[in-house]
Amino acid sequence: HVRSLSMFAAAFSLLPALLGFPVLRVLDLAYCEVDNTHWNDICNLFHLRYLNLRGTSITKIPKEIGNLQFLQVLDISSTKMEEELPSTFAQLTQLLLVHMLNSITYAVPRWMCSMSCLFFLSITLNTLEVEDLQFLESIVSLTELEIEVQKPTQDRVNRLATGSAYPFLCLKMFSVKSDTMELRFGRGAMQSLQTLKLDLQDVADTILQFGDFALGLENL
């Protein structure tokens, strides 16, 4: 009858099989010795609303993740992800918050546009491309967005511009962490924005790549 289970890493070896908790709503295994073999049990916990696998050794998410259709919060940040998210991830239509910082995604998946309830997303991208902005802007419910970019696009001389094409009309918090700032805020961009966080590793490199540090902040 257990509804909520949170484990400390030191006690994880004492945990019985997860299938022994068939009505779990909350499962918090952050920083425990979880690997891909545990997915078989996790993906059969059909009632899960909250799943925290932060800092574990998982390297992929199986297509069976689509079984967790009641899932609202997923944290897979600081894991060892090596594969893209499966398309069955789109079946998680009740997701509200997804944390994926420090777990590299090579591109924002196209199907993420269909996640109509998602209001918080943190994601680490290998590089930032026009298509990534398009798909993120298409998540109309998004109010908080954190992006970490691993590598700037070396041959890019013009910044990617948010504006009428990528308005992010509902976005209230926007955070970018990158070596250089590859975005510029155009007119009409992010009209609901209240909080902006820029974590840039080297301002000089930004100026060297783009010739200036004019980010269009006056348009916010």
Task: Give pLDDT tens digits for 90-125.
Answer: 899 999 999 999 998 888 988 888 888 999 999 999
User: What gap in Å lies between CA 130 and CA 79, rounded to an integer?
Assistant: 26
**How do the domains of the chain map onto residue ranges?**
4-219
> pLDDT tens digits, residue range 53-79?
999 999 999 999 999 999 999 999 999
Q: Which fold has domain 4-219?
A: 3.80.10
pLDDT at 156 over 90: no
Q: What is the spatial order of strands in the sheet that 4-6 belongs to?
A: 4-6, 26-28, 50-52, 73-75, 97-105, 120-125, 144-149, 173-178, 195-200
Please tell me the predicted confidence (pLDDT) of residue 46: 95
pLDDT at 140 over 90: no
pLDDT at 201 over 90: no
Mean pLDDT of 172-195: 91
In DSSP terms, 125 is beta-bridged to 105, 149
Over residues 7-17, the pLDDT tens digits come to: 999 999 898 89
Predicted confidence at residue 168, as pLDDT, reads 86
Check residue 113 and give its pLDDT.
85
State the average pLDDT for the chain.
Answer: 91
Tell whether the model's pLDDT for residue 166 goes beyond 80: no
